Amino acid sequence: MSPQPDIAVGKPQSRVDGRLKVTGRAKFAADHGSDDGVDGIVHAVLVESSIGRGRITGIDTEAARDLPGVLAVYDHTNAPRLPYRENPFPDSIHPEGERLHALQDDRVWFFGQPVAAVVATTLETARHAARLVRVEYDTQEPEFDLSSADTREAETYERGDADAALESADIQLESTFRLARNHHNPMETHSIIARWKGGNLTVWDKTQWVNDSRNELAAVFGISKDAVRCFSPFVGGAFGSGGRTWVHSVIAALAARELDRPVKLVLTRRQQFFTTGFRPAYEYKARLGSDRRGRVTSLIHEIRGESARYEFHTEDAATPARVLYDTPNVRSSYHLVPLDIGGPTWMRGPGWGTGTCVIECMMDELAHRLRIDPVELRLRNVPEDDPETGLPYSTLRLRECLTTGAREFGWHRRNATPRARRDGDWLVGMGMATGIYATERMFAQAHARLNADGSAVIQSATSDIGPGTYTSMSQVGADTLGLDIRAVDFRLGDTNMPPAPVQAVAWTMTSVGAAVKAACDHIRDQAVAMAVGDERSPLHGVPAADVVVRRGRLQVRDNPGRSETYEQLLRRNNRSHLEHVGTFSPPDEPEYSMYNHAAIFAEVGVDAQLNRIRLRRMVGVFDAGKIVNPRLADSQAIGGMIGGLGQALMEHTVTDPRDGRLVNANFADYLIPVNADVPDIRGIYVDSVDTRVGPLGVKGLGEIVIVGVAPAIANAVFNATGRRVHELPITPESLIQ
Amino acid sequence: MFPFSYTKVSSAREAIDAGRRGGRYLAGGTTLVDLMRETVERPDTLVDITALPLNDIKTTSGGGLRIGALVTMAEAAAHRAVRTAFPVISEALELSASAQLRNMATIGGNIMQRTRCSYFRDVTAACNKRDPGSGCAALEGYNRSHAIHGTSDACVCAHPSDVCVAFAALDAYVHLQGPQGERKVAFADFILRPGDTPDREHDLRRGELITAVEIPAHPRPLKSGYLKVRDRQSYEFALTSAAVALHIQGGVIRTAKVAAGGVGTVPWKLPAVERRLTGQRPSSRLWAEAAEESVRGARPLTHNKFKVALLRRTVERQLRIVGGTE
């Protein structure tokens, strides 16, 4: 096999779909219509419960049904019963328990649960009619107290003797952290168009995983997977909310089947807060023991995370304590606390961001107590091998992240004494934190087709929720085939394409990228073999390993003049195209432990009297393995760090405990950073290629970029003010004396 | 959104006629249309007044200003006379909403904008302002953004406007035209405290139209400015704010005009602060002592206790910024 040089890979290629997006021609789920063969679309609007727990005792839909243009109103009294077959992993990522059902019974699990759906010929009519539906309830007292409610049996972990080690530790720290619920709030709210033809269902859905939409709808409606097709060519952000197929998608498909017409359903911003998941709130009690030199000897973590009552989402909140530092004694318990809330789900850096936030705030406290520089303290605790499994690391670049970040940020200028630096009315502080995220991979396939005209089409049923998958896969395909990137057309978001995993876990570049590479390697090798074996080819008789392909021309590496194009080769051999399905299949039992690491450095200003908190600058250093496209990487890094800024200082979904109402389910009250909040933010990627993870040497970037950001900011707030706030977000009132 | 009819008028008389018959005036639409979408507002008729000639800013004799009701927030903020004579108005406007909203929203509409209380805006919640007699969900609910001054058991929501705080500080007047002719109401009397009737927000008679806001002449030189404190740097309503205007002559404060935002059920004029300042020489101590007066009688709620300290410090800071001492 001949190695191909990196030409497109590594370049800051702008998005190949950028023009489509900025000219409004990129079609998101709800944009599809007659041009795409879906005619006569009607509109569904959900009616949500206005209580937190109870049963529906009556629904009056008469006024809604009487409105001209209204086609139907569905609720649990008239909606068809759906089979709701099981749909376990690997076909879906449902948590334990049972997913929320669509209009199947009178039970209300949480405020905002869909209890009816109105379908009308226009969106305006449907929205108005939805307001006319009157629902009566038998209301029960809902429960929302994360601190005191009953829990499920804990997931526990123990190594060494954490209690004894803590008891005998020179330094013992203990704190309870309260981390708020966050909502993903992608720009595009969740949307779907559902159409039945015969027994076949086609959906245009906003999803991070078209195969999940297909599999889940097939399971819910009790039909074959082959009878469902899902398209999702463009996604306006998701951050984890599109990792599952939620109840609104089922309602749209249900209505479409009943009416035998295509139904479009677009969630409002408010509804987006109810049924598409969120990062759960945590109450996280942590104890840490250390010796005087700052070697952490014991971690004891007791975690309470909020959960729905009908399904039980767990995530990696307890994992960082086991793997971030070389800590010999660790004990953790992770309790889910079922409450009268909708189901949480993965949100960028799920669990890892939570556990790391707690550890890194305590590490800062430890550094302060011991008067050890926070960077030095981390360096003293970096493991040699994975402290949980004992496996060697595929690559470990944590030290480099820390030292590079300290240098590039100017960490040496930090004054370790809190409140020591002022800028007018503002106290200025610096803080840092480490981040960690598991490097993961998943089975993926891609189909590549090289046409006789020298163009290529590559397809995989993956998504592009923002990382630039269209572009990065085109880069990989172009280099592997030896084509200009403009000759490569990468397509995604259709269940008829070869399967790809959910676009999450930062594994798409590694996994789908490897499948793309495998498909293209095979085709190139096939072409090279064809040429060197073809007497009519100028390459006849050249060892295949000496042939490279550049700009569609096969050539001898050391004698580029001896060459021919793909086009010449294929036409001469009467081949219209070459094609292949490439597969990436990671080993079941890895020989190496694989992690992404990060070091985040932040400078904040805190108004000494008015307690305004503003980020002044931030540097994040990431080990993402090889960077396929530095421009896209910056987009991920800056976006992720802004997400962390929101988590640190603003984002907080507020529940009114009297009835479970989400009080701030809108963009005026649920605060996220605006441009004015975002100063100079820089992403740096340590020089790293990890071919043990996959053939591209990539480790993934999309998740690690948020982990460690919130604690770096919290630690900077401490350095500025001398106040430790064990709560996210950190608000003016949490600092006011 | 409930169905409604729409009519565009070309004269004040036509507008008032339509208003008298129950029509609701529509200018920039940035509040009203939003609330119609949420079905909080359910007008039968919208009367589009954007063609009326109420869009100029005039300097009055003596150095006051008359700002037409249809002048946009962006236009008012950028206007030379406003910037020169009353920076507090420009600053308050520029710290409001977003550039897009400021291009649409009008001064008249700003005065009429309704509260951001999330229970008011959620039609499934109890709210005496939206649905008199239904109760106030905010009183015992999540009330972080709510008022600490001027509240009643019926309503505790904060008035959302920034520029109205500047208008209140400057003792502005609202000019009205109605079926019975024209009248002029002091700003402090125009926006009503909730009392037992939080649904009644303005001293506005049926069919009356706001035609202008008048800023009276103030002694010169008048230094003024607006400070807004919030969680994020832009595009958020105030947690607290302070509008301050000072006329200092011979080292003595001759006139002080002070009001606060984010803390009152109406733009909160602070006469006690003004009195404490008048006749005094600027000093850090004076600012602190005067600011103490801003929180006298404050009634914080469960989630906004911090506003008491924050308001005091906001007023103190802004007195220092405008008054110019360390």
What is the CATH number for B298? 3.30.390.50
The answer as to whether B133 is a domain residue is: no
Angle at A268 between CA A264 and CA A273, to 5 degrees: 125
pLDDT at A346: 97
Average pLDDT over residues A87-102: 94
| AA letter at A514 | A
pLDDT tens profile B117-168: 999 999 999 999 999 999 999 999 999 999 999 999 999 999 999 999 999 9
* Residue-range definition of the domain harbouring residue B232: 225-323
Provide the domain count of chain B: 2
Give me the percent of chain B exceeding a pLDDT of 70: 99
Q: Is B237 on the interface with A (CB under 8 A)?
A: yes
Type and span of the H or E element at B121: helix B118-121
B232 to chain A, any CB pair closer than 8 A? The answer is yes
Residue A532 has pLDDT above 70, yes or no: yes
Nearest by CB to residue B2, choosing from A128, A656, A737, is: A128
**Over 60: is that where the pLDDT of A695 sits?**
yes
Q: Is the pLDDT of residue A565 over 90?
A: yes
d(C-alpha B152, C-alpha B136), whole Å: 10
- DSSP conformation class of A499: B
pLDDT per residue as tens digits for the range A585-628: 999 888 999 999 999 999 999 999 999 999 999 999 999 999 99
**pLDDT tens, residue by residue, A224-245:** 999 999 999 999 999 999 999 9
Shortest CB distance from A650 goes to which of B121, B122, B231? Answer: B231
Residues forming beta bridges with residue B255, ordered by sequence position? B247
Q: What are phi and psi of A304, to 5 degrees?
A: -120, 120
pLDDT tens-digit map of B4-32: 999 999 999 999 999 999 999 999 999 99
Distance in angstroms (rounded) separating the CA atoms of residues A415 and A274: 45
Write the ipTM: 0.97
What is the model's pLDDT at position A2?
54
Domain residue spans in chain A?
Answer: 18-24+442-584, 32-347, 387-440+590-735
**Order of strands across the sheet with A559-565?**
A547-550, A553-556, A559-565
Tokens of A431: 């803080």
Interface contact flag, B229 A131, Cβ < 8 Å = no
Does the bond joining A729 to the residue before it have cis omega, within 30 degrees of 0? yes
Q: Is residue B213 part of a domain?
A: no
What helix, strand, coil percent values describe chain B, rounded to 5?
30, 25, 45
Find the radius of gyration of the CA atoms of chain B. 19
Does B124 contact chain A (CB < 8 Å)? yes
Q: What percent of chain A has pLDDT over 90?
A: 98
Q: Which of residues 404-433 of A touch B (CB under 8 A)?
A: 425
A387-440+590-735 is a CATH 3.30.365.10 domain: yes
Rounded average pLDDT over A237-258: 98
Taking the model in full, what pTM does it have?
A: 0.98
| pLDDT for the residue numbered B302 | 97
What mean pLDDT is predicted for residues B79-92?
A: 97
Neighbouring residues of A429: CB distance < 8 A, sequence distance ≥ 6? A418, A421, A603, A604, A606, A716, A717, A718, A719, A720, A721
Ramachandran region, residue B189 (left: φ > 0; alpha: ψ -120 to 50; beta: rest) = alpha
**Does residue A277 carry a pLDDT above 70?**
yes
Asked if the Cβ–Cβ distance from A656 to B141 is below 8 Å, we say yes
Asked if the structure places residue B317 within a domain, the reply is yes
Q: Inter-chain contact B309–A736, Cβ cutoff 8 Å?
A: yes
User: CA B92 → CA B71, B161, B167, B168, B268, distances in Å?
Assistant: 15, 9, 10, 12, 14
- When comparing pLDDT for A93 and B299, which is higher? B299
For range A42-57, the mean pLDDT: 98
The answer to whether the CB atoms of B317 and A425 lie below 8 A apart is yes
Q: Residue B35: inside a domain, yes or no?
A: yes
Indicate the average pLDDT of chain A.
97
Fold of the domain spanning A18-24+442-584: Aldehyde Oxidoreductase; domain 4 (3.30.365)
- Which of A131, A273, A615, A733 to mutate: most B Cβ within 10 Å? A733
* Mean pLDDT across A359-366: 98
Q: What are phi and psi of A732, to 5 degrees?
A: -55, -40
Q: Which two tokens stand for residue A469?
A: 């998958």
Residue B209: its pLDDT value, please?
A: 97
Instruction: Report the pLDDT value the prediction gives residue A588, as an integer from 0 to 100.
Output: 87
Provide the shortest C-alpha distance from residue B210 to chain A (in Å): 27
Using a pLDDT cut of 90, give the percent of chain B over it: 98
In a domain, B201, yes or no: no
The residue of chain B nearest to residue A51, with distances taken between CA atoms, is: B124
Q: Is the pLDDT of residue B284 over 90?
A: yes
Would you say B205 and B107 are in contact if contact means Cβ atoms under 8 Å apart?
Answer: no
Yes or no: say if A404 and A326 are a contact pair by the CB < 8 Å rule.
no
Q: Among A610, A664, A668, whose Cβ lies nearest the Cβ of B313?
A: A610
A32-347 has which fold? Answer: Aldehyde Oxidoreductase; domain 3 (3.90.1170)
Cα separation of A560 and A152, whole Å?
67
Beta-carbon neighbour count of residue B22 at 10 Å? Answer: 12
**Contact (CB, 8 A) for B167 and B281:** no
pLDDT for residue A589: 85
* Catalytic site includes residue A535: no
pLDDT tens for each residue of A304-335:
999 999 999 999 999 999 999 999 999 999 99
Residues in B closer than 8 angstroms to A677, CB to CB, are 232-234
- Using CB atoms, which residue from A609, A668, A674 is nearest to B116? A668
Q: Which chain B residues have a beta carbon less than 8 Å from that of A604?
A: none
Angle at A128 between CA A123 and CA A132, to 5 degrees: 140
d(CA A328, CA B129): 60
Under the banding of pLDDT at 50, 70 and 90, the label for residue B325 is: low
Mean pLDDT of B233-242: 97
- The answer to the question of residue B124 being in a domain is no
Residue A529, SS3?
A: helix
Whether the predicted pLDDT of B65 surpasses 70: yes
**Six-digit token pair at A352?**
């890892």
Determine the pLDDT at residue A655: 97
Q: Among B51, B67, B89, where does a domain finish?
A: B51
Q: Which of B201, B210, B123 is nearest to B158 (CA)?
A: B201
**Residue A123 Cα, gap to closest chain B Cα (Å):** 11
Task: Give Cβ neighbours of residue A90 (< 8 Å, ≥ 6 apart).
Answer: none
Interatomic CA distance for residues B237 and B255, integer angstroms: 29
B229, A610: Cβ pair inside 8 Å? yes
C-alpha distances in angstroms, A686 versus A312, A398, A400, B208? 37, 9, 7, 67
Pairing assessment for the beta strands B223-229 and B240-249 based on DSSP bridges = antiparallel
B61 — pLDDT class (breaks 50, 70, 90): confident
Mean predicted confidence (pLDDT) in A373-379: 98
All residues of chain A having their beta carbon less than 8 Å from the beta carbon of residue B310 are 610-611, 732-733, 736
Residue B56 pLDDT > 90:
yes
Q: Characterize A455-477 residue by residue with b for buried, 16 or more Cβ atoms within 10 angstroms of its Cβ, and e for exposed.
A: bbbbbbbbbbbbbbbbbbbbbbb
Quick one: pLDDT at residue A736?
85
Residue A163: per-residue pLDDT: 98
The answer to whether the peptide bond before residue A350 is cis (omega within 30 degrees of 0) is no
Which range is least confidently modeled, A136-140, A160-164, A312-316, A589-593?
A589-593
Q: Which of A258, A233, A219, A256 is nearest to A94 (CA)?
A: A219
Rounded to 5°, the CA angle A652-A656-A661 comes to 95
In a domain, B299, yes or no: yes
Same fold: A18-24+442-584 with A387-440+590-735: yes
Asked whether residue B122 is assigned to any structural domain, the reply reads no
Residue B93 clears pLDDT 90, i.e. is over it: yes
